């Protein structure tokens, strides 16, 4: 069984989920599990988990908890069955063969890379103070390569074999919340988890399975799909900085595809 996993903290982000669900249902027959917290929004999906995030965490931190802890939340409510694909609520299925992503899973975890970003380049986003490489060594006793190309946390595949890795990511993420030198992001701790589990050379997804709009060039929106300038069909488009901005042809194309 293949299942997409969506998470959201608060009403604003929960409202986004309906659009993601619409895209998944248009292009796939796969199952969907939604995990929300601090939200009263009515999610139109059969499986919705209402998680109680502790009050001491802010909304951004709660969203990180839902993502990195999704495997345990799902296991507790439904058990784990088959393969899962987590997607951020700004990631959209855009192809009739979007389900083929599940065939690309390679245990214990599968992410796509973050184009052009190395540990050195990402340091300023992950840290409020200090260098990411130094702080990972200081906090987690792990050495990482400054030139390593980081993974993007907006989409990843997992199954029951992923517990160890995802628990490390979850625990590392919790560990930085009270550390004022770290920002409340999850990619710095993802880097630490990758190197902790010696997965720095592990397989990553082809770029057309998590195409980051505006952060990588070459996207070619058509009337009813997206191609790259190299002729590859895009399966998922990710709008991390341009979500909802209809001055971009790609967003307007998505709205046309989803008939919004």
CA separation for the pair 170, 168 (Å, rounded) = 5
pTM: 0.94
CA separation for the pair 43, 197 (Å, rounded) = 36
Residue 189, both tokens: 């701790």
Residue 244, both tokens: 């909802």
Domains of the chain: 2-257 (3.90.550.10)
pLDDT tens-digit profile, the chain (260 residues): 999 999 999 999 999 999 999 999 999 999 999 999 999 999 999 999 999 999 999 999 999 999 999 999 999 999 999 999 999 999 999 999 999 999 999 999 999 999 888 998 888 777 777 788 999 999 999 999 999 999 999 999 999 999 999 999 999 999 999 888 887 789 999 999 999 999 999 999 999 999 898 777 778 888 888 898 888 899 999 998 888 898 888 899 999 999 87
């Amino acid at each position: 069984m293949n299942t997409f996993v969506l998470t959201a903290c608060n009403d604003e982000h929960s409202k986004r989920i309906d659009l993601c669900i619409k895209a998944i249902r248009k292009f796939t027959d796969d199952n969907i599990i939604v995990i929300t917290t601090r939200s009263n929004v009515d999610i139109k999906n059969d499986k919705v988990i209402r998680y109680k995030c502790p009050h001491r965490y802010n909304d951004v931190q709660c969203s990180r908890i839902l993502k990195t802890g999704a495997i345990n939340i799902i296991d507790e409510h439904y058990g784990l069955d088959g393969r899962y694909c987590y997607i951020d609520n700004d990631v959209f299925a855009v192809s009739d063969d979007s389900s083929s992503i599940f065939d690309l899973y390679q245990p214990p975890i599968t992410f796509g890379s973050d184009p052009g970003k190395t540990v050195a380049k990402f340091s300023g986003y992950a840290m409020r103070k200090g260098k990411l490489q130094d702080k990972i060594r200081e906090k987690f006793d792990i050495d990482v390569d400054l030139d390593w190309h980081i993974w993007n946390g907006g989409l990843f595949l997992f199954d029951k074999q992923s517990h160890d890795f995802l628990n490390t990511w979850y625990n590392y993420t919790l560990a930085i919340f009270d550390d004022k030198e770290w920002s409340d992001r999850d990619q710095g701790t993802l880097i630490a988890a990758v190197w902790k589990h010696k997965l720095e050379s592990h397989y990553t997804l082809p770029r057309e399975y998590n195409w980051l709009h505006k952060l990588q060039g070459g996207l070619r929106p058509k009337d009813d799909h997206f191609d790259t300038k190299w002729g590859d069909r895009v399966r998922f488009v990710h709008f991390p900085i341009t979500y909802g901005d209809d001055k971009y042809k790609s967003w307007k194309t998505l709205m046309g595809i989803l008939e919004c």
